[in-house]
Amino acid sequence: MDIEQAAAQLEALGNPTRLKLYRALVRAGDHGLPVGRLQERLSIAASTLSHHLHKLMTVGLVTQERQATTLLCRANYPIMRDLLGFLVEECCVESTCSTALPDIPDAAA
């Protein structure tokens, strides 16, 4: 991952509404959540949700899939792991760490 991609993803997550949205999708696991349920959970207007989802999809953190009449949203776990890995890959390379960083779990685990 390059620094520009990481910066764009972190910028997208820097908005409180988008961060709540993303965390809801991460908690939902591989099954994801329908747009309607996300809207209910976040108590926001459909147009606002659409705006925030678009930003997260643009940077690759969220995917959408249409299943009949339902639009299903999911956290993109490989991209999330790449971003987390980018953030910690150089931890303590110039000195020793006082605490060990935990492993980043797979979504399937």
- What percent of the chain stands above pLDDT 70? 89
Rounded-to-integer distance, Cα 43 and Cα 99, Å = 39
- Mean pLDDT of all residues in 17-36: 96
pTM summary value: 0.85
The reported pLDDT for the residue numbered 103 is 64
φ, ψ at 8 (rounded to 5°): -65, -40
Query: Over the stretch 41-91, which tens digit does the pLDDT of each residue have?
Result: 999 999 999 999 999 999 999 999 999 999 999 999 999 999 999 998 887
99 occurs within a structural domain: no
Q: How many domains does the chain have?
A: 1
Rounded-to-integer distance, Cα 89 and Cα 102, Å = 12
73 occurs within a structural domain: yes
Tokens encoding 85? 């890995």
CATH classification of the domain holding 34? 1.10.10.10
Where do the H-state alpha helices sit in the chain? 3-13, 16-28, 35-42, 46-58, 77-88
The reported pLDDT for the residue numbered 91 is 79
